[in-house]
Chain A
Amino acid sequence: MAMSATSYFNVKTSLYRPKPVSTVRDSIHYAQAMSESTSEAVFSFITVPTPIDASRYPAMIPATTAYVDEYKPRTIHMERLCFGDKVLSIKSGLSLKVEVYLDDGNWIAFNERFGIYGFGASRQDALRDFQETFIEFYENIVNCPNENLGPSTIEFKTVLSSFATVV
């Protein structure tokens, strides 16, 4: 008589099943017992999970992806900077590259091109401080009359004002 694949499997596994498996715990014990008593090859695909009692490890924080991501350095390309009622808009097609990272316990938002940085206790604080600093730096230079500035600063002022405008 021809036997289907499913029924063949049932017959084969039933040979190794001394009693019905009712709970998960039973199935683990069953797998452990069987892997010890029968051929390793038959049950090698079964991995027995080690139970973890979380209350025994209060200092341990689960290393989930979200947790790792929270502290990962990030690069942001900003097209608009805001502080209070001021908005600084970066010229079309350009952006301000800002590296945000944790160093020495401080969150730092840093633009290498202009050397502007913001810092704080959180990523958001650092980005807020960065925007405030950049807008202030920009206005202090762009709004300063040329007669008060040195030649290299006048040149820098041209670069800065062609890069962004206050909206």
Chain B
Amino acid sequence: MAGVPTKTMRKSLQKKGFVFQKGIGDHDWYYYSYNGKEYKQIAAKISRGSGYKDYPDSLLKCMRILLHLDSLQEVRQLLLCPMDAEEYKSILDGKDLL
């Protein structure tokens, strides 16, 4: 399956409630925030490296656990927008994370 562009991922994560935090190395962090509190165990790391403009499935699979999603399909839905902020919040709520 085609990779997901990092530009799309960044926009999408910010729309779904993630807050940007610049990383030390060549990557940035996005932490989930809700009701003024940070849920830092719900996060995504995105590379700034020019070699990783698109994230292949191999990396999306690794992101799944920190995003607290159950499948690669859900990760793609979150990052490519079919899953909205409310739906994602209800998934996290269902897992007693919020």
- Residues of B at under 8 Å CB distance from A? 21, 23-25, 27, 29, 31, 34-35, 37-41, 43, 45, 47, 51-52, 56-59, 61-66, 96-98
- Residues of A at under 8 Å CB distance from B? 103-106, 108, 110, 112, 114-117, 119, 121, 129, 132-133, 136-137, 140-141, 144, 148-150, 152-153, 156
B40 contacts across to A, CB distance below 8 A: 140-141, 144, 149, 153, 156
Q: Are A115 and B62 in contact (CB under 8 A)?
A: yes
Q: Are B38 and A153 in contact (CB under 8 A)?
A: yes
B60–chain A nearest beta-carbon distance, Å: 10
Interchain Cβ contacts under 8 Å between A and B, 17 examples = A108-B59, A115-B62, A116-B66, A117-B62, A119-B47, A119-B52, A119-B62, A129-B25, A136-B23, A140-B29, A144-B38, A148-B37, A148-B38, A152-B39, A153-B37, A153-B39, A156-B41
Q: Are A152 and B56 in contact (CB under 8 A)?
A: no
A140 contacts across to B, CB distance below 8 A: 21, 29, 31, 40
Complexed CA–CA distance, A141 and B40 (Å): 6
